[in-house]
A and B are shown apart, each in its own frame.
Chain A
C-alpha cells in the first residue's frame, strides 16, 4: 500500500513554461486535494475533487488547472509558470465525501520557477 504518491519530487521551470504535477492514491478514496505550502504560511487549498468527475476551486486557484483522471489520479497543471508559483505542492486524499475528514498526504513536489 503506497498511500499517496506524487511525481516529480523536484522541478525547476523557467517563467512561462508549463508542467503537470501527478498524484495517485491506492486507498480507494473518493476525495482528493491539491495544496501549496509556502514558508510562514499555512497550507492553502488550490483545487479539490470531492468525487470522481467533479472538481472545485479552493482558496488560491488562479494560474492552475486540475484533472480528476479517474478515482485514483488527480493532476495539477501550471499552464504558464510564474515565480510566485515557487512552492511545495502537496496532494492529499480522504475516503468520504466530506472534505473535512482526516486527510492523507503525499510526499510533496518542490517547484522552483526562475
Chain B
C-alpha cells in the first residue's frame, strides 16, 4: 500500500536559518504533491503544489523540490522566522481512487 513518511521528531531551527523538511513516499508514482501548514487547533492551510514534471517550485521564502526517482519531496523555508513555527504536512494524489494520501506531519520550531 502507499505510504508517506515525514520526520516525526520536531525540527528545531535557529531564526534566520533555512529549515528543510522531508517527505518520502513508497509504492506509488504521484502526478503531484502538495504541502500544507497546520497551526495548533486549526485546519491545514495549502502552501504549494508541485507536479511530477516540475523539479522545483518557489513562493516567496518557500521552495519545494520533487525527485520522482528518489520518491522524495523537500520543503525549504529560507530566512526562517518564529512565525513559521507550525506543523507541515505533505499530501500526494492517489491515482484512480480520487484521494489524497497524507503524511503525519513534521513539527517545525523556529527559535529566536
What residues of chain A have their CB less than 8 Å away from a CB belonging to chain B? 4, 40-45, 48, 50, 56, 58-59, 90, 92, 98-100, 102-108
Asked if A42 and B101 make an inter-chain contact with CB atoms under 8 angstroms apart, the answer reads yes
Candidates B32, B41, B102; contact of A43 at CB < 8 Å: B102
Asked if A102 and B34 make an inter-chain contact with CB atoms under 8 angstroms apart, the answer reads yes
Candidates A50, A100, A105; contact of B43 at CB < 8 Å: A105
Candidates A41, A45, A106, A108; contact of B100 at CB < 8 Å: A45
Asked if A107 and B43 make an inter-chain contact with CB atoms under 8 angstroms apart, the answer reads yes
Sample 26 A-B pairs with CB under 8 A, ordered by A number. A40-B8, A40-B104, A41-B104, A42-B4, A42-B102, A42-B104, A42-B105, A50-B98, A58-B99, A59-B99, A90-B43, A90-B44, A99-B98, A99-B100, A100-B32, A100-B93, A100-B98, A100-B99, A102-B49, A105-B43, A105-B45, A106-B43, A107-B43, A108-B41, A108-B42, A108-B43
User: What chain A residues lie within 8 Å of B34 (beta carbons)?
Assistant: 102
| Residue with the highest number of chain A CB atoms closer than 10 Å, among B42, B91, B100 | B100
Name the prevailing secondary structure of the A interface residues: loop
User: What chain A residues lie within 8 Å of B104 (beta carbons)?
Assistant: 40-42
What residues of chain B have their CB less than 8 Å away from a CB belonging to chain A? 4, 8, 32, 34, 41-46, 49, 89, 91, 93-94, 98-105
Chain B nearest CB from A90 CB (Å) reads 5
